[in-house]
């Protein structure tokens, strides 16, 4: 192996270690905050969009803790259990594919639901309900787990390329169906289309006779979902293109520089890809001043209440009143 190839591989390894741990820890913390705030505030309860956002944070936590940590071990520390355990080779592919497609589906559902809930047509607004949201999430979970099982069956461990797909038909399916359509074209198109339609609805929402509290909530959730969709497009597209290239283009083992360059590009695009699953909390903070106030109120008032209990300054009735106020933050 040439010194250039070694330098590229070292750069890839160092990039993976430092950037990936930042993405991992910030993502886990952000999702926990997201779940806590959305569950804590009374204004979000019973809203289908909130159901989707909480479910996405839970799925993305799983994505961070299992597929992403194993990816860090493989690319950053050359510790790849999939090369020695056939069971883990197959299971990891199921976990990675299923959690990716479930998360992408939930983002699409959230965009569609926001279009329905902000529509001036009553029959479309009726299609936005917590029951439909819960049913859609359950269907997506079952569908994509079942989808991942047949693909996992074809994963093998061979001395040539380790844990990988060697059946040409399955390789073509993964490259041209899974990556090109299921991970790329379909979720990007659906989420972008309905996010734009929801934005158009919100711009006209002021003309409708609805309570100002509901109007502000619709505007807030639409802004949050639009930014979420835009981030999905930016972070997912490079990864999809890189993965298709890696499956379609054959690179010989003798071409060390080319293989090292592909690994470096892969490390960068994978980091972008996992940023899509770690950054929703921070996107919501950036896109919505109202959400920033809500997060601040939840944590600041929660700390005050906890300090009051410890110091036993306020009577129990006052603490209960504070707790009620906390639930009513808008």
pLDDT for the residue 310: 62
Q: For 5-54, how does the pLDDT look when each residue is reduced to its tens digit (9 = 90+)?
A: 788 888 888 888 889 899 999 999 999 999 999 998 888 888 899 999 99
> Does any domain span residue 145?
yes
pLDDT for the residue 98: 95
pLDDT for the residue 325: 37
- C-alpha torsion sign, points 262, 268, 274, 276: negative
Give the count of domains, the chain.
Answer: 1
- DSSP secondary structure of 285-315: HHH-HHHHHHHHHHHHHHHHHHHHHHHT-S-
Q: For 228-268, how does the pLDDT look when each residue is reduced to its tens digit (9 = 90+)?
A: 999 999 999 888 888 888 777 776 666 677 778 888 888 88
Domain that holds residue 285: 1-297
> Does any domain span residue 304?
no
pLDDT for the residue 90: 93
Give the range among 143-147, 163-167, 269-273, 312-316 with minimum mean pLDDT: 312-316
Distance of CA 122 to the CA centre of its chain: 31
Task: Identify the CATH number of the domain in which residue 5 sits.
Answer: 1.20.1070.10
> Does any domain span residue 312?
no
Phi–psi pair at 293, nearest 5 degrees? -65, -40
pLDDT for the residue 265: 87
> Does any domain span residue 324?
no
- Band of the pLDDT at 210, cuts 50, 70, 90? low
- DSSP secondary structure of 87-142: HHHHHHHHHHHHHHHHHHHHHHHHHHHHHHHT-SSHHHHHT--HHHHHHHHHHHHH
Structure-model confidence comparison of residues 8 and 310, the more confident one: 8
> Does any domain span residue 307?
no
DSSP letter (8 states) at residue 206: G
For residues 241 and 266, is the Cβ–Cβ distance under 8 A?
no
- Band of the pLDDT at 320, cuts 50, 70, 90? very low
> Does any domain span residue 222?
yes
Cβ-based neighbour number of residue 291 at 10 Å: 22
Given 3-state DSSP classes, what are the helix, strand and coil percentages for the chain, each rounded to the nearest 5?
85, 0, 15
> In angstroms, rounded to a whole number, what is the distance separating the alpha carbons of residues 32 and 312?
29
> In angstroms, rounded to a whole number, what is the distance separating the alpha carbons of residues 4 and 25?
32
> Does any domain span residue 102?
yes
Give the range among 75-89, 122-136, 179-193 with minimum mean pLDDT: 75-89
Give the range among 83-87, 181-185, 324-328 with minimum mean pLDDT: 324-328
Confidence (pTM): 0.84
Strand 162-165 and strand 155-158: pairing?
antiparallel
Find the distance separating the first CA and the last CA of the chain, reported in whole Å. 60
> Does any domain span residue 179?
yes
Reported as half-sphere exposure (CB side, CA atoms, 13 A), residue 38 has a value of: 26
Q: For 113-150, how does the pLDDT look when each residue is reduced to its tens digit (9 = 90+)?
A: 999 988 888 888 889 999 999 999 999 999 999 999 99
């Amino acid at each position: 192996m040439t010194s250039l190839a070694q330098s590229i591989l070292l750069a890839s390894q160092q990039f993976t270690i430092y950037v990936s741990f930042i993405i991992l820890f910030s993502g886990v913390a952000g999702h926990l905050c997201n779940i806590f705030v959305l569950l804590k505030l009374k204004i979000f309860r019973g809203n289908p969009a909130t159901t989707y956002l909480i479910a996405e944070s839970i799925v993305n936590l799983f994505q961070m803790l299992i597929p992403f940590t194993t990816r860090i071990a493989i690319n950053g520390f050359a510790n790849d259990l999939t090369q020695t355990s056939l069971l883990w080779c197959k299971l990891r592919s199921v976990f990675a594919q299923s959690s990716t497609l479930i998360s992408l589906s939930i983002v699409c559902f959230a965009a569609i639901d926001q279009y329905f809930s902000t529509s001036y047509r009553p029959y479309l607004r009726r299609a936005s309900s917590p029951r439909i949201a819960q049913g859609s999430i359950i269907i997506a979970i079952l569908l994509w787990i079942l989808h991942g099982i047949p693909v996992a069956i074809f994963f093998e461990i061979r001395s040539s390329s380790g844990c990988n797909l060697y059946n040409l038909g399955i390789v073509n399916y993964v490259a041209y169906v899974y990556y090109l359509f299921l991970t790329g074209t379909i979720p990007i198109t659906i989420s972008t289309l309905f996010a734009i339609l929801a934005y158009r609805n919100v711009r006209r929402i002021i003309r409708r006779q609805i309570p100002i509290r509901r109007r502000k909530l619709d505007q807030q959730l639409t802004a949050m979902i639009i930014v979420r969709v835009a981030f999905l497009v930016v972070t997912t597209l490079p990864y999809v293109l890189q993965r298709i290239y890696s499956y379609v283009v054959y690179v010989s083992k003798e071409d060390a520089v080319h293989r090292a360059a592909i690994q470096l590009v892969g490390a960068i695009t994978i980091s972008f890809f996992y940023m899509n699953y770690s950054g929703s909390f921070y996107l919501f903070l950036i896109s919505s001043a109202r959400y920033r106030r809500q997060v601040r109120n939840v944590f600041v008032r929660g700390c005050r209440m906890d300090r009051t209990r410890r110091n036993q300054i306020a009577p129990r009735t006052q603490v209960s009143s504070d707790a009620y106020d906390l639930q009513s933050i808008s």
